[in-house]
Amino acid sequence: MDWNVPKFPLDTLSDQGLDWLTDHGSWLTRAVSRTVSDWIDVLTAALVAVPAWVFIGLAALATTRIGGRKIGLLTLFGLLFLWNLRLWQATVETLVLVSLSTVTALVIGIPVGIWFALSRRAWRTFSPILDMMQTLPSFVYLIPALPFFGLGAVSACFATIVFSVPPVIRLTALGIRNVPSELVEASDAFGGSTTQKLFKVQLPLALPTIMAGVNQTMMLALSMVVIAAMIGAGGLGRAVWQSIQRLEAGAGFEAGIGIVILAVILDRSTQALADRARPHGAA
């Protein structure tokens, strides 16, 4: 079918916009790339330098304290299994990438979520952008990452942050908005300032919902590890991607099981933190 209406040059405009940002912001992206790359290298080297059995023992103790004996045993046997599969280096690289991406997403997302909760205008203005971010296929986030940061773990970290930040923004805003109005009015009646009301009433009561956002952000970050391997990220995602390229089903299954084990450990641990943050007597 022939179209007489001229095509809107979205592809050309996008290319021009990326070129402009790359040309005028290269000084910033190079500085960010060096800093993030150094952090990734330092954290990975530090964790690899710790004997695997020591790291596994400490992780098991920490998760036991957070979520109880079942989660602690899951962590212990899960990580021991990954060590036995000779996937420890890849596991550490994945943990560093996921942890750094998640922490950065939370540092960005929680303040933005607070802003959205306190400003209806900001929420109405930027909510469609969050909808778009959650609707776009995850592969799309690799496109702007490459011109800015090139191949490697830094681009993977950038794409993972953008992909995983919407849930914590939404759930932070939701948690604060769902604080009972009676408690907010009581704070106002006792002369509480906006800051006091936020930090002593709204955020503590919204903490379980915020922790649910932390959980979702971490799970989305972990779901990106295989896709991020396509642009040079390491870890278990690289092992899966290499096994696909080489048609090595067994190696790919091992690395895939490793990702599942990490996902279950992180999911159960953050859920336990959310349960602990829930006020006593809450449903």
The low-confidence residues of the chain, meaning pLDDT below 70, are: 1-3, 25-26, 277-283
Instruction: Dig out the tokens for 78 from the structure.
Output: 């899960």
Residue 98's contacts (CB-CB under 8 Å, 6 or more residues apart) are 160, 218, 221, 222, 225, 262, 266
Confidence at residue 281, expressed as pLDDT on a 0 to 100 scale: 45
Confidence at residue 275, expressed as pLDDT on a 0 to 100 scale: 76
- Cα(99)–Cα(269) distance, rounded to whole angstroms? 14
Domain containing residue 249: 24-277
| pLDDT tens readout for residues 145-196 | 777 777 777 888 888 888 888 899 999 998 888 888 788 777 777 777 777 7
The total number of structural domains in the chain stands at 1
Confidence at residue 225, expressed as pLDDT on a 0 to 100 scale: 77
HSE-CB for 153 with a 13 A CA cutoff: 24
171 found inside a domain = yes
- Cα(17)–Cα(11) distance, rounded to whole angstroms? 10
Instruction: State the chain's mean pLDDT as an integer.
Output: 83
5 found inside a domain = no
CATH number reported for the structural domain that contains residue 79 in this entry:
1.10.3720.10
176 found inside a domain = yes
Q: What is the pTM of this model?
A: 0.83
- Cα(158)–Cα(143) distance, rounded to whole angstroms? 11
Q: In angstroms, what CA-CA distances link 206 with 154, 166, 171, 190, 196?
A: 32, 17, 9, 20, 15
88 found inside a domain = yes
12 found inside a domain = no
4 found inside a domain = no
67 found inside a domain = yes
Confidence at residue 3, expressed as pLDDT on a 0 to 100 scale: 60
145 found inside a domain = yes
> Do 264 and 78 form a contact (C-beta atoms < 8 A)?
yes
Confidence at residue 25, expressed as pLDDT on a 0 to 100 scale: 67
> For the chain, what is the total number of helices (H) and then of strands (E)?
13, 0
